[in-house]
């Protein structure tokens, strides 16, 4: 069975072309990934802000929610 030898440069070019083609054909996947990343960053920011804010009693929260 003959062995195929491919240069690293050619392999890199083929892989790059395949990734570009996949991204062009599935723009919805790229959009979903970017949306998820933005949501994750917002969640981290909200958690950090919550960690720095003063704590309150649960009954106060329930009063606000029931109003």
Does a structural domain hold residue 34?
A: yes
Domain that holds residue 60: 28-67
Q: Number of structural domains, the chain?
A: 1
Does a structural domain hold residue 19?
A: no
pLDDT by 10s per residue, the chain, length 67? 566 777 999 999 999 999 999 889 999 988 999 999 999 999 999 999 999 999 999 999 999 999 8
Does a structural domain hold residue 62?
A: yes
Using CA atoms, how far apart are residues 46 and 42, in angstroms rounded to an integer? Answer: 6
- pLDDT at residue 6, as a whole number: 77
- List helix spans (H) across the chain: 8-25, 27-52, 58-66
């Amino acid at each position: 069975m003959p062995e195929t030898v491919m240069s690293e440069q050619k392999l890199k070019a083929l892989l790059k072309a395949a990734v570009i083609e996949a991204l062009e054909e599935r723009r919805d996947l790229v959009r979903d990934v970017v949306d998820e990343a933005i949501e994750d960053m917002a969640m981290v920011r909200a958690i950090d802000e919550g960690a720095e804010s003063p704590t309150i009693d649960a009954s106060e929260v329930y009063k606000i929610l029931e109003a």
